[in-house]
Amino acid sequence: MNIRLKYVITSVALSITIGSCSRDFLDVKPVGRTLEVNHYQNQEQAFEALVSIYDVLQWNDQNGYTMQHLLMNVASDDTYAGGSDASDQPSWVATNNFTFDPNLGPHSGFWKKAYRGIFRANYYIQLIDDVPNTSEAFKTRTKAEAKFLRAKFYLDLMRLFGNAPLITEPQGADDYFKLNIPGPSGLMTQIATDLADAILDLPGTVSGNEMGRVTKSAAQALLARAYLFSNDASKMADVASLCEDVINSNLYSLEPNFADIFDRQHEYGVESIFEIAYTESSLQGWWQFGSGGGEGNVGTQFIGMRDYNGPTYATGWGFCPISTDLVSAMSTDPRFTHTVIDAAALQGASYTAGYQNTGYFMKKYAPIQANAALDGDVALNWGTNTRMIRYADVLLMAAEALARTNSESAALGYLNQVRNRVGLPARSSSGAQLLEDIYEERRFELALEGHRFHDLIRTGKAVEVLGSEGYQSHNQWFPIPQNEIDASTDASGNPVLTQNPGYN
């Protein structure tokens, strides 16, 4: 999905400029479009607009550095903030110790990114059926893709903010004062509706230059994830059914070697259900940063060791040093050496210790010298894809849902598939202990992939685990960005948006 997009929104038009690179699935020529005035005139233009929705998934640079999966690591007990010193990225430090407020933190970037994606998806869904010279098959499939992407952005908002406006049609300026704010359950209803529609019309597989486009299995797995986060006991049978549909499709399997999952040669591998694609060939420079203009993964640069000099790895900025808690908990697990870099064990290597340094760094997504961009600013052009949904996660979601619906034998079967892959003995637990075993397996199998914080929230363990870091119960949600509350205030001084509890 290697496209570059810049946009300008006015009251009457949305103009999109799209560039391209050679790796992965989308290759569109740079063309300017005025979409609201002229709409899409043919299938090619419609496809460019679809690309612009996918493009938002890549963005790491809304209101600062806002790589969501990395910041969710920081919010959890798996990593610290890191960087050069405590003043390097204040919003990351505030996420680490839960001192964020309506004006300080990454939440403004999360909010902006999600609604920019939703804005584009809403336009596409509204206009695509009337585009001339376009096949019905194209319209059906691409509308399903747009609904998947809209659901993904709303899931981000639901998990991060809880109370966020539900907008399903393009809006004018005055509509911002008439927002529908349905709460988490209302957002979940829209997510479920969009994904149910998408499941019906998405293809089972993609191949060749379409790798990176969403499939039916991706929509099923994302809906299972959304239901699981909602923690609605009545939906656990649905979670199990959705996951088992993916499992029984026989389209995916566990990589035989755990170490291969995050290798560049195994992008779109047998375990990958959906990835956010990046490229090292976009030639991005700092002049583009902050505009959503690049296609490189700056998150890879973030987690590398500062001033690193040695074999295998490239230098980075020292963020997300791994907590001693995770190191202690996971050190005897066979996945540890493929998840964690022990800097002290590297032969002939040196680095500069940064803020909150522990000597342990993220191996998943780490900057590898051999993968560095040959042109442009290396820091901004890492081509490492983010694995958004993988098969092991589906197996563990199925295990949890089945355990919670008293189907323990089937739950153990899926749990033990994940353990068997890395040579761990099978579990035979039941009841509450079985759920605890599944939660531990999720922590170790999916370590540093951005799931841990949300898992602690939905299982009610966040206060117990994160309380010593400053977490309080209201930190389940991020604060609504103050600038958004201010923008929603009408002429009478009444804001449509209200702040989440605990942040006033």
Q: Is the pLDDT of residue 28 over 60?
A: no
pLDDT at 237 over 90: yes
Is residue 19 scored above 70 in pLDDT?
Answer: no
Residue 195: how many other CB atoms lie within 10 Å: 30
Share the mean pLDDT of the chain: 91
Distance CA 257, CA 403 (A): 27
What are the sequence ranges of the domains in the chain? 1-66+107-202+472-504
If you count them, how many residues does the chain have? Answer: 504
Is the pLDDT reported for residue 56 higher than 80? Answer: yes
pLDDT score recorded for residue 376: 86
Task: Give me the mean pLDDT over the 200-206 stretch.
Answer: 98
Do 220 and 246 touch, CB atoms closer than 8 A?
yes
CATH class of the domain whose range is 1-66+107-202+472-504: mainly alpha
pLDDT at 17: 31
Give the pLDDT band (50/70/90) at residue 294: confident
Cβ neighbours for 55, distance < 8 A, ≥ 6 positions apart: 1, 3, 4, 5, 18, 292
First to last CA, the chain: 40
Mean pLDDT of 72-91: 98
Q: Has residue 137 got a pLDDT over 60?
A: yes
Long-range contacts of the stretch 41-47 (C-beta < 8 A, 24+): 41/131, 41/132, 41/133, 42/131, 42/132, 42/133, 42/134, 43/131, 43/133, 43/134, 43/135, 43/138, 45/131, 46/124, 46/128, 46/131, 46/134, 46/138, 46/142, 47/138, 47/142
- For residue 362, give every residue at least 6 positions away whose Cβ sits within 8 Å of its Cβ, in sequence order, or none: 73, 79, 303, 320, 322, 339, 340, 341, 448
Least confident of 31-40, 188-197, 388-397: 31-40
Query: What is the predicted pLDDT for the residue at 199?
Result: 98
Pairwise CA distance, residues 71 & 383, whole Å: 20
For residues 443 and 452, the answer to whether their CB atoms sit within 8 Å is yes
Q: Which amino acid is at 395?
A: L
Separation CA 189–CA 145 (nearest Å): 18
Q: How confident is the model at residue 193 (pLDDT cuts 50, 70, 90)?
A: very high
CB atoms within 10 A of CB 287: 9
Average pLDDT, integer, range 463-472: 98
pLDDT at 452 over 80: yes
Question: Side-chain half-sphere of 273: how many Cα atoms within 13 Å?
Answer: 24
In the DSSP assignment, the letter for residue 162 is: S
Which pLDDT does position 38 carry in this prediction? 62
**Confidence at residue 174, expressed as pLDDT on a 0 to 100 scale:** 76
Q: β-strands 32-34, 272-276: how paired? A: unpaired
Give the per-residue pLDDT at 245: 98
Percent of the chain topping pLDDT 90 = 83
The average pLDDT across 187-198 equals 98
Residue 287 has pLDDT above 90, yes or no: no
pLDDT in tens, 332-341: 999 999 999 9
Q: Is the pLDDT of residue 232 over 90?
A: yes
459 half-sphere exposure, CB direction, 13 A CA radius: 22
Please give the pLDDT value at position 15.
33
pLDDT band at 33 (very low <50, low <70, confident <90, very high): very low
pLDDT tens sequence across 99-129: 999 999 999 999 999 999 999 999 999 999 9
pLDDT tens for 402-424 read 999 999 999 999 999 999 999 99
Grouping H, G, I as helix, E, B as strand and the rest as coil, residue 348 is: coil
Amino acid at 99: T
Question: Stretch 85-92: mean pLDDT, rounded?
Answer: 97
- The neighbouring-strand residues paired with 274 are 389
pLDDT, tens digit, for every residue of 351-377? 999 999 999 999 999 999 999 999 889
Q: For residue 57, what pLDDT band results from cuts at 50, 70 and 90? A: very high
CB atoms within 10 A of CB 101: 13
Say which residue, 133 or 504, is predicted with more confidence: 133
**3-state percent helix, strand, coil for the chain, nearest multiple of 5:** 50, 10, 40
